[in-house]
Amino acid sequence: MIKMPFSYADRLISSKNADEKYLLNEVHHLSVDGFPLLVHYDLRLLKKNWNKADLLTRPNTLWRYHEVLPIKEERNIVSLGEGSTPLVPLSRLGERFSINLLMKDEGIIPTGSFKARGASVGVSKAKELGVRNIVLPTNGNAGAAWALYSARAGIHSYIIMPVDAPKITREEVEISGGNLYLVRGVISDAGKIAAQLISDYGFYDASTLKEPYRIEGKKTMIYEILEQLRWEVPDVILYPTGGGVGIIGIFKGLLELRELGWIKKIPRLVSVQAEGCAPIVGAWEKGQTESRFWDHSKTIAFGINVPKALGDFLVLDALYKTDGYALSVSDREITAAQREVAEFEGSFICPEGAAAFAAMKHLTKKKWIKEGETVVFLNTGLGIKYPESFVPQAPIIDLNEHLQIK
């Protein structure tokens, strides 16, 4: 019997020029022209050797899809059991909007957010490449995930966050032994500090889309969604968009699955942003291929407070090629959506996930999402990671006080 490769990754290519090729066994960040690199797989060969039935006996982690992940040797995998998060039917809310509504709940994962997927694959590849020190600018959850996975791999992490990043994510970095630095500003300001460390000390740049492997971990979300739907493709997928790696990965995964012959159609993708930081929406509304820097950005959905994404052109390309949509929602709508999902379905979702739910409501009202369609929105983290989101107004009572129930 011929032993099949653990991974069918064969090279890196430029996201702007597929003819540019880069070796997988060397450290690479951006292309020679400064564009993100993407992992390319020999899908023609893989199609002959891999089928859906192979998944039936595999462990329930994202590494069940190892053929389309970039790690060449299994011994380099750094895992905490991430993946296989639930695809939850929201029947009561779906009935209200006359759709089949499903929520991919990424809060039920190590580190409490979908960032664990990118960290697992990204840190695993860093280990395989012999990296000893990584630096990462982050809005919070990515830094927490990369610090914890780096600790597991024996890699030193240097995490740069805005000073207003969620407190719990700062604690995750510190308790892991990571080197945490806080900067007064937004993630682009954190990026400037990270660039200084890279220049001065030669640290491995783990910034969004400046290392090619985080996207590969995040694309496993769509592999899971479709496997959970028995390879029936939903009509619409809504994704809260900051740096854009999640929606880029979902689109990349869809194209791979179509080339493998496992699916035939592609769902309409929706990029959701906050009104206080909506560069992708602004570009999409004008039919542009890249966004402009969003000045004075601010939103309670901290994870999508990214004024300018390096891969904005890839997000916009995914929207245009899937007949998708981009829209923004207000912080007030985000807070209301968190409460609505909790009250009707018992799930305390994060502000970013709530933004996607709020956007779904807009699109059903516009009839862009049609009655009876199957709609998936991504909740990218646990609501309890944002304790400042709600301040309970419960009355304090005396033990001898007689309660009067309204």
Q: With cut-offs at 50, 70 and 90, classify the pLDDT of residue 193.
A: very high
Q: Which residues contact 406 (CB under 8 A, 6 or more apart)?
A: none
**251-299 residue pLDDT tens:** 999 999 999 999 999 999 999 999 999 999 999 999 999 999 999 999 9
d(CA 167, CA 169): 5
Q: With cut-offs at 50, 70 and 90, classify the pLDDT of residue 406.
A: low
Closest CA to 169 of 186, 195, 193, 148: 148
Query: pTM here?
Result: 0.95
Q: With cut-offs at 50, 70 and 90, classify the pLDDT of residue 2.
A: low
Q: Which of 96-100, 247-251, 402-406 is least confident?
A: 402-406
* CATH fold label, 85-387: Rossmann fold (3.40.50)
SS3 (DSSP) at 405: coil
CA-based torsion, 17, 139, 301, 100: positive or negative:
positive
CA-based torsion, 301, 306, 307, 313: positive or negative:
negative
Domain residue ranges of the chain, discontinuous segments joined by +: 9-76, 85-387
